[in-house]
Structure 1
Amino acid sequence: VTSKWKTPAIVMVAGCLICMIGFGVRSTFGLFLTPMTGAIGWDRETYALAIAIQNLLWGFMMPVAGILADRYGYVLVIMGGAVVYALGILGMAVTESTTVLYLTAGVLTGAGVSFTAFTLIATAMARVVGPEKRSLVFGIGAAATSFGQVLFSPITQGFIDGYGWESGLYFLLFSTLIILPLALLLPFSPSVQGEDEGGQTIPEAIREASQHRGYILLTTGFFVCGFHVAFIGVHFPAYVT
């Protein structure tokens, strides 16, 4: 049961801030390609592979995040994801090992992104309003997510230029930890307001989704979008002067 003080407005503000931080941090990793590889002596391919692993883990872990959120509630899953996210960024800041880079920038941050992603947060926000307002909630959440990218990229670049790439990563680390108190403002219960969920099992949900033409087309579209956007986001900043 959602606490009475967790009004839809409070949940919306907290959710939008989490979306903004989660995706804003994730969108800045391309800014570190040149300074990190130059300082440590890695080649471009080493860093790019770590971010590729991150993107794959982000996608693969999204269903896991949803399953855990339905079972244990959004608050615990998002808070756990924020901790994993922060540990991944911390590992990036202190390691000179390519193996550790793949585990931190790749596996840990990828899992952290998926557990603090827009789809998970937007679902939590949508569950405190009626069905007639969910499209509006998703739109506001998507706008906050995009604004995070606009906000974090120049600030992070400022830290890199002024204080070094390690300081830029520590800025991202502490920003990610802000998600912890914000998550407490979200509803603990995974139940949906105004709906009977019908007790659908996970295999049944997967079977239904895999047979839905709209779901297949949407997933394919996001795959294409994610592939080229991630590629540009990682490699393009190195060519900007």
Structure 2
Amino acid sequence: MSEEKFSKPLIYMLIGSAVILALSLGVRHAFGLYLVPMSHEFGWGHNVFSLAIAMQNLIWGTVQPITGAFADKYGSKIVVATGGVLYCLGLILMAMSSTGLLLNLSAGLILGLALSATSFPVLLSAVGRAAHPSKRSMAMGIASAAGSFGQFIMLPTTLLLLQNVGWKGALIVSAILIALLVPLAWTLKAPMYVESQASTQQKQNLTFRQILMIAKKHKPFWFLSLGFFVCGFQVVFIGIHLPGYLIDHGFNATTGTIFLALVGLFNIIGTYGAGWLGGKYSKPHLLMGLYGLRGIAIIAFLLFPLTTFSVYAFGIVMGLLWLSTVPLTNGIVANMFGVKYLTMLSGIVFFTHQIGSFLGGWLGGLNHDITGNYDAVWMISIALSLLGVLVHFFVNEKAVVHD
């Protein structure tokens, strides 16, 4: 049998998705750089900014299944274009925020809604629907890697903007870049790949309510969701608070920025590699390995003397493991339930990711304000790595057949 290749419409969709994710996630991953300058200007504790970002992640996750259902019914391009408008509005209002209430409205509510329409669940599901099953994991890995490239580019860019035009100017420039998401949304028009197997066709004919009931009763689906909770907690805690952690230990803002940029750079390799491996090996087993390696990396980072070398080495290792979970997790959902309602079902799994993100972001700031350090949350992150390994013992990616 000849190996399936990417169709031209899928290639165009991959390019569009890549740029959308690079912009959307690149700007979002730089939010941690605003914590110190905004907190200093307004005399906030770290908890104020942390709570707004935590709210962003919680709102993002809460509305993601609803946004996903809209994308499944009306198409991804309408959803992404709407999200792009909200994203611009949220960044402009964030630049005007001088109180915790305004920060929660802009960075929390509006940007949370925007991200639910312009990030992984919507874009990867669109790619997954258009790709041949044998290439689905790799296609998702390629799109995921693009988001990492955006992080690599936007972090040093944001630092330069902060240093030259201040945090307000940096947010306005970011809003101008995000406006490109609206025209780019019209690249998301590749047709859905239709499988011929009888069981798959049966799944495609299930109603919205039927597929929800099947998912509700499928325990591996919920173990997979619990594993994604771990991912959310760890990446948001480290992404938001690592720059502040380094400043507490005498490093400057540039060190934290380079750390996050290295995460973005090596995540390109990690996400593409995970997508490629996911097409050849068991995705649950790969996820077990990823979560276990994260725990080992965090332990090593805390035990070794804190130097510029150790910080950058940690960034490289975490980059390889950072969002490698995303194409694997979304690929498992597609294998379990097919692609017709993939955006909505991936959104449910992503909701648990964002509960973890909320707790990782908020507890990090709360822990710092109460104790002056992040020790307790580091310990929680290590314990959650073990949980991430254990729950994937109970996950399989076999198709769920409706009787």
Paired residue for 1:200, among 177, 202, 206? 206
What letter corresponds to residue 148 of structure 1 in structure 2?
G
Looking at structure 2, the residues matched to 96 and 235 of structure 1 have their Cα atoms a distance apart, in angstroms, of 21
Looking at structure 1, the residues matched to 8 and 92 of structure 2 have their Cα atoms a distance apart, in angstroms, of 32
Partner of 2:74: 72
Indicate if the aligned counterparts of 1:6 and 1:185 stay in contact, CA closer than 8 A. Answer: no
Partner of 2:317: none
SS at match of 2:204: coil
1:157 aligns with 2:163: no
Partner of 1:227: 233
SS at match of 1:27: helix
1:126 aligns with 2:132: no
Unaligned runs of 5+ in 1: none
Looking at structure 2, the residues matched to 65 and 155 of structure 1 have their Cα atoms a distance apart, in angstroms, of 30
Shift of 1:40: 2.4
Range moving further from structure 2, 123-132 or 29-38: 123-132
SS at match of 2:130: coil
Looking at structure 2, the residues matched to 6 and 109 of structure 1 have their Cα atoms a distance apart, in angstroms, of 33
Indicate if the aligned counterparts of 1:6 and 1:186 stay in contact, CA closer than 8 A. Answer: no
Bigger Cα Rg: 2
Looking at structure 2, the residues matched to 107 and 22 of structure 1 have their Cα atoms a distance apart, in angstroms, of 16
What letter corresponds to residue 139 of structure 1 in structure 2?
G
Shift of 1:212: 2.6
> What CA deviation, in whole Å up to 9, does each residue of 1:24-71 have, x standing for no partner?
111111100111111223222111100000011111121111100012
SS at match of 2:187: coil
Partner of 1:178: 180
Runs of 4+ in structure 1 displaced over 4 angstroms? Answer: none
Looking at structure 2, the residues matched to 118 and 17 of structure 1 have their Cα atoms a distance apart, in angstroms, of 12
1:17 aligns with 2:19: yes
Looking at structure 2, the residues matched to 214 and 221 of structure 1 have their Cα atoms a distance apart, in angstroms, of 11
Looking at structure 2, the residues matched to 112 and 60 of structure 1 have their Cα atoms a distance apart, in angstroms, of 12
Looking at structure 1, the residues matched to 149 and 219 of structure 2 have their Cα atoms a distance apart, in angstroms, of 31
Looking at structure 2, the residues matched to 208 and 151 of structure 1 have their Cα atoms a distance apart, in angstroms, of 41
Looking at structure 1, the residues matched to 43 and 76 of structure 2 have their Cα atoms a distance apart, in angstroms, of 40
Unaligned runs of 5+ in 2: 1-6, 196-200, 253-403
Partner of 2:381: none
Shift of 1:199: 3.8
Superposition TM-score, scaled by structure 2 size: 0.55
Looking at structure 2, the residues matched to 25 and 199 of structure 1 have their Cα atoms a distance apart, in angstroms, of 38
Paired residue for 2:222, among 216, 224, 232? 216
Partner of 2:93: 91
The count of residues paired between Structure 1 and Structure 2 equals 235
What letter corresponds to residue 170 of structure 1 in structure 2?
I
Q: Give identity over the alignment, percent.
A: 36
Shift of 1:6: 7.1
Paired residue for 1:44, among 21, 35, 46? 46
